Amino acid sequence: MIPEVLKPWAQFICWEPRLDSDPAKKPTKVPVDPTTRRAIDAMDPSAWMDADTAMQWRAQGFNLGFVISENDPIVCVDVDDCLVTAGGAARWSDFAQNIVNRLPGACIEVSHSGRGLHLWCQGNLPTGHRAKATMGTDKLEMYSRLRFVALGTNQTGTGHVDHTGALVALIAEYMPGDANGPDGFEWTDGPLPEWNGPTDDDVLLRMAINAKQSPEAAFAGKATFRELWEGDTEALIRSYPPRSDSQVYGYSEADSALAMRLAWWTGRTVTAFTALCTGAG
């Protein structure tokens, strides 16, 4: 039930499926406190448990997930939507089988949806904590931290292999943009010359969190600055539904929303902010 490579790490959580208000959408995987069934922040270490405790909750009917953090050497390679049907028989796509062959010794499991594969191994991603690509109908993602992954079924292999070399090769082949990184960025730790607002970060954040007049009207129905900054899980699930089984909520959408609000509070226009993000300004 729990991949061998994950057992030494006390980074397990429970989760429950929560139905979306739109019946056409699949249920959301919501991390929960098993004693109260209230939603939790999957990235909060105080909510994590060891493998033995997690299995005790599993025996009581809870689903389990693993939080990949900066403290562990774990990498999850997630191949989504790779189950294909041909001639009435189901099989894993050629692309998925190629990924499996390139990571010998990884722990392989069927994702909770039954339509994808997780490959658990050890290593480092040159791109940081995430890399992704779409190959036809298959979706390939790699995670090495800041990610909650719902554990699947039918595990094979232990995963006690460092696959850094193979991961680097896969990224270079399928994700060249991630391997090369963005160009044109020049980060600074000071304000723009034309900035005339607070220069103390704490003061600025208090203003943004407590302001009664803010850009929230432009984001009607979405999470507030406070909810984004404090990582209010329930608000983020409501505002930014997950796009894959490995997400609690739409991480990219939430990150973008927070960045847009920070841009507004630091005097950046949407045009200037977009240029910054594309390396054009």
Annotate 99-145 with three-state secondary structure. Answer: HHHHCCCCEEEECCCCCCEEEEEECCCCCCCEEEEEECCEEEEEECC
- Between CA 234 and CA 227 the distance in angstroms is 9
Alpha helix ranges (H) inside 149-250: 164-174, 176-180, 201-210, 225-230, 233-239
**Global pTM value:** 0.66
Percentage above 90 pLDDT, the chain: 41
Are 39 and 145 part of one and the same domain?
yes
Match 């040159």 to its residue by tokens. 126
Contact 133, 179 (CB under 8 A): no
With cut-offs at 50, 70 and 90, classify the pLDDT of residue 273. Answer: very low
Q: What is the pLDDT of residues 213-251, one digit of tens each?
A: 555 544 555 788 888 888 888 888 888 887 666 577 777
Same domain, 231 and 101: no
CA atoms within 13 A on the CB side of 16: 16
Q: Is residue 249 situated within a structural domain?
A: yes
Residue 263 structural domain: 201-277
* Domain-located, residue 189: no
pLDDT of residue 61 exceeding 60: yes
Q: Does any domain span residue 194?
A: no
129 & 211 share domain: no
Share above pLDDT 70 across residues of the chain, in percent, rounded to a whole number: 81
The torsion defined by the Cα of 29, 113, 150 and 80, in degrees rounded to 10, comes to -110
Q: What angle do CA 206, 211, 216 make, to 5 degrees?
A: 120
Could you please report the per-residue DSSP string of 226-258?
HHHHHT-HHHHHHHS--SSTT-SS-HHHHHHHH
Residues 149 and 216 grouped into a single domain: no
Q: Are residues 141 and 227 in the same domain?
A: no
Domain count, the chain: 2
Residue-wise pLDDT tens digits, 157-198 = 999 989 999 998 888 888 866 544 443 344 456 666 666 777
Distance between CA atoms of residues 188 and 257, nearest Å = 21
96-106: per-residue pLDDT in tens?
999 999 999 99
Mean pLDDT across the chain: 81
SS3 78: strand
Residues 46 and 131 in one domain: yes
